[in-house]
Amino acid sequence: MTDKPRKFRRVDPDVRRESLIDAALRCLAREGHDGLSVRRIAAEAGVSVGLINHYFPSIDMLVADAYETLATNIADRMVKAVEQAEGTPRERLARLIEACFAPEIMDPALLKVWVVFWGMILHSPEMRIVQQRTNGRFCNVYERFLRDVAEAEDKRVDTTLLARGLSAMHDGLWLEFCLNPDSFKVEDGMALCHAWVDAKLA
């Protein structure tokens, strides 16, 4: 009474697209730039080579979609982590910084993916557009919670500049940590970010 053997199953196009993007991200996380290959992604997704080009005009478009997807996911998770937290604006900002240093962020495999994104941003206009959009989102998240603190404590600071500094410091620490996890402890990184914020919102 076994199911009759099928050579493949049709899948809803949207679901299929998503599964291809997921497979691509898994390949990039595992193999970095070497994982960026139609054949490896197809194998990872369990489909044939040709299907990739059926859903994406070129490999660059697939990566651009993957970039948008991953960046959006991460930003959303951060916002949610803070929004469902209670406490003063100051405490919520601390939750945000904690979320920025969560284990799934401070992961060399994630940097492997991002390094590929960066390399493509420098050559592909489509990727550059995604970068500008997603980076703007990240900065807005930082600024939003920083402004909450500034308003609650009645401080007058340029929250845009403050957010840019926080973003830069976190990016630099994240990069260095992922390249060399022994160079410092995650707690030290969080302390540095807090030191920056406290210095401007003292």
Partner DNA sequence: AACAAAGTTGTACGCTCGTCCAATAACGTC
Partner DNA sequence: GACGTTATTGGACGAGCGTACAACTTTGTT
Chain residues binding DNA by CB under 7 A are 5-11, 13, 16, 34, 36-40, 47-54, 58-59
From candidates 13, 54, 132, 151, binder to a second copy by CB under 8 A: 132
Instruction: Give the binding-site size for a second copy (rule: CB under 8 A).
Output: 41
Q: At what angle do helices 59-83 and 125-152 cross, to 10 degrees?
A: 10
Torsion sign, CA atoms 133, 21, 98, 189: negative
| Closest CB to a second copy among residues 52, 121 | 121
196 binds, among DNA, a second copy, none (CB under 5 to 8 A by kind): a second copy
Are 59 and 36 in contact by the 8 Å Cβ rule? The answer is yes
Query: What secondary structure, in 3-state letters, does 140-189 show?
Result: HHHHHHHHHHHHHCCCCCCHHHHHHHHHHHHHHHHHHHHHCCCCCCHHHH
* Close Cβ partners of 156 (under 8 Å, ≥ 6 residues apart): 150
147 binds, among DNA, a second copy, none (CB under 5 to 8 A by kind): none
Q: Does 33 bind a second copy (CB under 8 A)?
A: yes
In this structure, how many other beta carbons lie within 10 angstroms of the beta carbon of residue 108?
Answer: 13
In the complex, what is the shortest distance from the CB of residue 26 to DNA, in angstroms, rounded to a whole number? 15
From candidates 11, 118, 152, 153, binder to a second copy by CB under 8 A: 118
Q: Which residues bind a second copy (CB under 8 A)?
A: 32-34, 108, 111-112, 115-116, 118-119, 121-123, 128, 131-132, 135, 161, 164-165, 167-173, 175-176, 178-180, 183-184, 188, 191-192, 195-196, 199-200
